[in-house]
Amino acid sequence: MNLLVSSSKERERSTTRMSEEDESMAEQSDNGLGLDFILSLDDVPSKLPPHLELFRTRVLCNNDAPIHTDTIHYSGAYGALGVDNSQQFDRFRENFKVEVKRLTDSDMEFDMIGIDPAIANAFRRILISEVPTMAIERVYIANNTSVVQDEVLSHRLGLIPIRVDPRLFEYPDTAGDDNNEKNTIVFRLHERCQVGQPRITVKSDKLKWLPNGSELPSEDVKPNTSSKPKTFTSFTCSQNSLPEFSSNSLDLTDSDIILAKLGPGQEIELEAHAVKGIGRTHAKWSPVATAWYRMLPEVVLLEDFEDEQAEQLVNKCEPNVFDIEDIGKGKRRATVARPRNCTLCRECIRGGKEWEDRISLRRVKHHFIFSIESTGALPPEVLFTEAVKILEDKCERVITEFS
């Protein structure tokens, strides 16, 4: 009887202690310290199990379809395992990197590591539609007797990239009345095919820059008037005299773009006015021919491929991802030599379970390979820095609105 009573009292005391601990944990959780309390326990793991870490950081490309394509943002997604999934600035600053892999006059390839897919896509969209350039917007045609219609000719002129730093210019006046040396570049084209001469091809190199502004009169010139006729611009000085043009050239990126072909007796005379704009308004202001990214490919051989199977694997892969190495004793083994070349054609895992179960094709979710191909208006490295500045300005505006 005494044993039963003491046992009952022990259970009550144990239950009381457990209730107090539960209340303490609940109270800490209410104060926002619950996760910190859990992470401080000795028996809580500090990282995810390998299979969950794989699902969190990789896209698995199976033979039929990719899986685990979502990016997990919820901070408490792995709270039950004691792993904090929240976005922290210090962690981002430590992991974020940009590595330039290739840089030429017209294109650039770089790796952007440790960034969310949404931010990577925002950067791509900024490159395409928000980095400003100069492009021909208004065309004043004095004479056009060619077979090319006025509107078609104007459209072709608008798509010619202009190699000039747009940061030297202002955006045009919304009313379009104040066309001055700070917001307008004027080009003149005057070509004629003489009667009896063979047909001529008019190319973009025939466009001549007019640093003093427009020369076409904007209204009918009255006879017997000595006053200078009004033109389509109001330049106060020559653009050649501006200090910003002394170290910055102004030219067309390509001099051999065909604009029209003239037969005997045909003539084109016009002025083309270029202004500052962005690709979101019209594609002619887009500074890139293309800007795109892909996630870093990751190819893992789960089992060894030796001898004949190694040769089969190398021959299967058109992008030349795999190589063969000697491992001694007359044997050879397949290795992953160039994983960046992988296009995920999945040819290497076709052919049954003996291939699919032995090769894992993945994409790293937070590692992006960016490619920028410039139209020539600005160097690709300048496009990159300008896109970063625009993204920074957007972030500052958001912070200002919420503060």
Query: For residue 6, what is the DSSP state?
Result: H
What pLDDT, on the 0 to 100 scale, is given for residue 5? 43
337-349 pLDDT, tens per residue? 999 999 999 999 9
Helix (H, G, I), strand (E, B) or coil at 389: helix
pLDDT at 241 over 70: yes
Helix (H, G, I), strand (E, B) or coil at 231: strand
The residues that bridge with 274 in the sheet, in sequence order, are: 136, 185
275-330 pLDDT, tens per residue? 999 999 999 999 999 999 999 999 999 999 999 999 999 999 999 999 999 988 88
- Rounded to an integer, what is the distance from CA 143 to the centroid of its chain? 42
Stronger pLDDT, 201 or 245, i.e. the higher one: 201
What pLDDT, on the 0 to 100 scale, is given for residue 264? 95
Q: What's the mean per-residue pLDDT of the chain?
A: 86
3-state helix, strand, coil in the chain (%, to 5): 35, 30, 40
28-58 pLDDT, tens per residue? 444 444 555 544 555 555 688 888 999 999 9
96-152 pLDDT, tens per residue? 999 999 999 999 999 999 999 999 999 999 999 999 999 999 999 999 999 999 999
Sole residue written with tokens 């997990």: 72
Structure tokens belonging to residue 225: 């008037």
Closest C-alpha among 319, 280, 285 to residue 299: 319
In terms of phi and psi (left: phi > 0; alpha: psi -120 to 50; beta: otherwise), the region of 182 is alpha
Q: Output the DSSP codes for 191-209.
A: EE--TTSPPEEEEGGG-EE
Q: How far apart are CA 338 and CA 307, in angstroms?
A: 20
pLDDT at 186 over 60: yes
| Domains of the chain, first to last | 45-131+287-302+358-403 (3.30.1360.10), 133-285 (2.170.120.12)
Q: pLDDT class for 185, splitting at 50, 70, 90? A: very high
What pLDDT, on the 0 to 100 scale, is given for residue 290? 92
